[in-house]
Amino acid sequence: MNLKMINITEQNIAIMLEMCLLLLVIVLVLHITLPYRWMPAEFYKHLHKIPGPKGYPIIGNTLIALAMRADDVYNLMKSYTEKYGPILRIYGFGLAHVMISDHEIIEAILTGTQNISKASDYRLLSCWLRDGLLLSTGEKWHTRRKMLTPAFHFKILEDYIPVFSRNSKILVNKLWEYIDEPFVRVNKLITLCTLDIICETAMGTSIHAQDGQEVEYVKAVHRISELFQKRQLNPFLYKNIIFNLTGIGREQARVVKILHAFTRKVLEQRRQEYISNRETTDNNLQRKKRILSFLDLLIEISETKQVLSDEDIQEEVDTFMFEGHDTTSSALSWAMYLLGSHPDIQEKVMHELDSIFGNSDRDPTYEDLSHMKYLEQVIKETLRLYPSVPVMSRMVEKDIHIKGYTIPVGAHATMLTFMLHRNPELYPEPEKFDPARFSPESCQKRHPFAYVPFSAGPRSCIGQKFALMEAKVVLSTVLRNFKLETLDRPEDVKVLMEIVIKPKEPFCIRFTPRR
């Protein structure tokens, strides 16, 4: 009997050891595969006081994220905001996003100097952008921002207008090729146009994307955003040790290699050109007359001040390419869709353009752009309804106490720009497209943080004037040639919230010659 009891006890101990070992293996696997962080009880105490969907122990709301597709995000965030209010939380595995669409809370976050670091999921882009202006923080970010700001002075931006204009005319010529078609799926054409513009202004090289050249680089630029979005929605892919073993991890490595090789090649060529020219007075004079790209300006800083390495320059050029291409393409696509859906507003824009240009086909000047007041209102109202970057997120590095809540250190303060801009208290009839909202009188009455398509505060978008000028040139060039008619019904347009806000399907727009 005693022997039996000893055997049973030994069996129980063996089973318990096996279970402990299995549990240890499970914990180890989860630690390797998931971005889990052990957070103190105080963190959850503050977090659970913020309203939000019910979560489960440890995993929180992770099941929602795993079940979500890219085309679910917009509607889900919209329904959550309507249900829980302008501050809500979702969390899981020690990661927490506090979703904010309240202009006063957003003001406190964006204007403060304590929480300027981007949220951790931005680091998923570091394989391409490394530690450029978008991703850097602290002293490096402050120094780099101060150094790069002069590159966006209006005198330099004015020199880019011919680049905007030349590529806009190529877009118009492409649209003429479809003039006998019932409609044009316009998004891709606009994207290729903005890609040509950003490559020429950022790197000083023409890739002729609109003419079907540099296909490998063009495809790589498009693909990297898609891969980032897939990874962002799947917490099991956050850790590099797992992601790099997957098919999309290997594909991303290949795509990044193409992107870096192209920028590096152009950088080497431009630096060699700078070195060859600097000793010749005639070449220096000739150089001053031509348009200097963003890359040229960085090389000049590097050569004269000895402060930027080739790697520093490349990460800033790659960042400018990333931030300045798809965002502008998105804004232009939505603007054409909205103008084609509102012929009365389109007519007002055309009247303004006719008053500036008459029957002339000359290129626009900087002064012409300053007279496009109503077109600017149209662009701003487009960015209210469809802000190119619909979500901004910061890592909370110091507790934020506001409106009876505490957003704890370690959480992500995620600002839902697209919901802020649709707040009926700030914008009556928020779904209505009404450029008059951005008349000088209306703007003056509104809270300054009720509209933040380019962010605000110290980390506001450094290229917002560049983007607005580009949008004015492209839209004015198209509207001087064509009347737009959108064939998509508003109820059929599905919104995708990826890195930038896009329609699920390309817009169908009919272009009719004006003259």
Q: Both 27 and 134 in a single domain?
A: no
If you average pLDDT over residues 284-292, what whole number do you get? 61
- Find all residues with CB under 8 Å of 310, minimum gap 6, and list them: 264, 267, 271, 302
Q: Both 199 and 347 in a single domain?
A: yes
pLDDT digits (tens, 9 = 90+) for 6-16: 555 666 676 67
Q: Both 2 and 124 in a single domain?
A: no
What gap in Å lies between CA 455 and CA 296, rounded to an integer? 27
pLDDT digits (tens, 9 = 90+) for 71-80: 788 888 899 9
State residue 17's pLDDT score: 74
Q: Both 66 and 1 in a single domain?
A: no
Q: Both 27 and 159 in a single domain?
A: no
Q: Both 241 and 119 in a single domain?
A: yes
Across the chain, what does the average pLDDT equal? 89
Does the structure show a pLDDT above 90 at 390? yes
Does the structure show a pLDDT above 90 at 295? yes
Beta strands in 246-374 (DSSP E): none
If you average pLDDT over residues 454-474, what whole number do you get? 96
Q: Both 153 and 90 in a single domain?
A: yes
Q: 416 has which bridge partners?
A: 391
Q: Are 500 and 477 in contact (CB under 8 A)?
A: no
What gap in Å lies between CA 133 and CA 119, rounded to an integer? 14
Q: Both 26 and 47 in a single domain?
A: no
Q: How many domains does the chain have?
A: 2
State residue 30's pLDDT score: 58
Q: Are 92 and 62 in contact (CB under 8 A)?
A: yes
Phi, psi of 430 (to 5 degrees): -60, -25
- Find all residues with CB under 8 Å of 337, minimum gap 6, and list them: 486, 488, 493, 503, 507, 509
Q: Both 11 and 158 in a single domain?
A: no
The closest alpha carbon to 109, from 412, 499, 463, 421, belongs to 412
Q: Both 14 and 63 in a single domain?
A: no
Q: Are 199 and 166 in contact (CB under 8 A)?
A: no
What's the CATH code of the domain at 200?
A: 1.10.630.10
Two structure tokens written together for 159: 């020199």
pLDDT digits (tens, 9 = 90+) for 194-219: 999 999 999 999 999 999 888 899 88
Does the structure show a pLDDT above 60 at 4? no
- Domain of 24 in residue numbering reads as 1-33
Does the structure show a pLDDT above 60 at 387? yes
- Find all residues with CB under 8 Å of 348, minimum gap 6, and list them: 374
Least confident of 90-94, 231-235, 319-323, 467-471: 231-235
Distances (CA, A) of 150 to 20, 49, 82, 125, 369: 61, 44, 42, 26, 21
What gap in Å lies between CA 403 and CA 420, rounded to an integer? 17
State residue 8's pLDDT score: 58
Q: Both 6 and 122 in a single domain?
A: no
Q: Which pTM was predicted?
A: 0.91
Q: Both 10 and 52 in a single domain?
A: no
80 residue type, one letter? Y
SS3 462: coil
If you average pLDDT over residues 450-462, what whole number do you get? 95
What are the respective helix, strand and coil percentages of the chain, to the nearest 5?
60, 10, 30
